[in-house]
Amino acid sequence: MRINRGVHWVRAWVRGAPGTYVWLGILFVTTVALHHMSPEFEEEFLRQRSTNIHELSSNPVRVLVSSAMWIDGGHWLPYVGLYSLFHAPVERWLGTARWLGVCAAAHVLATLISEGALLWGIRHGVAPASAVNTLDIGVSYALAGVVAVLVYRIPAPWRYGYGFVVLVVYAVPLVTGRTFTDLGHFTSVLIGFGCYPLVRGRKSVRIPKETAGASAG
């Protein structure tokens, strides 16, 4: 009986966040594909789908979409936990369209800002010219944006502590590492915080009595 309840709960959870788990399914397929590539072919294959300066200048839409369908490093399982912990609750809370809006805003804007900063560094001699072809793929910018927007799901005063922790977690690498990806992650967090208009009108917490009453009705 408990096993059946657990299976039913998992199915209901997945059905409530279809975008999250379709995305995870795509990442599973692409990760398996990566494991069947030689290291040399994999590097060139991913570079063509990377949101580096060279690809953004010639195929911006294609690489902005394709870069979010691959995981650099080939480790898929950790993302099952991260997507279930952050993406799924936000999608269930905001709905698929608004959740996707947060993901797209964080992924696209953070990419453009971080790569713009890298281009500035190249032109001013801070970064090497070869950095125009740097490898930049993955889903971390969208994840950081969703982690940040989740602050509006948490009731006060706990949301302030959560927001502070999120800022620290992403600000420390920016201060100590100062890479363009660190800038991209921190920018994604700020974008997530700035997505308040998308969450306006959504309840910060579910009230069990109201939920039970609605179900009974």
Q: pLDDT > 90: what percent of the chain?
A: 74
Instruction: Report the pLDDT value the prediction gives residue 9, as an integer from 0 to 100.
Output: 83
Instruction: Report the pLDDT value the prediction gives residue 215, as an integer from 0 to 100.
Output: 31
Instruction: Report the pLDDT value the prediction gives residue 203, as an integer from 0 to 100.
Output: 64
Instruction: Report the pLDDT value the prediction gives residue 209, as an integer from 0 to 100.
Output: 38
Contact of 112 with 57, CB cutoff 8 Å? no
Can you state the angle between helices 18-35 and 2-15, rounded to 10 degrees?
90
CA angle 144, 149, 154 (to 5 degrees): 125
Per-residue pLDDT reduced to its tens digit, 138-161: 999 999 999 999 999 999 899 999
Q: How many CA atoms lie within 13 A of 139 on its CB side?
A: 28
Per-residue pLDDT reduced to its tens digit, 33-70: 998 998 889 888 998 999 999 999 999 999 999 999 99
pLDDT at 173 over 60: yes
pLDDT at 27 over 50: yes
N- to C-terminal Cα distance for the chain? 26
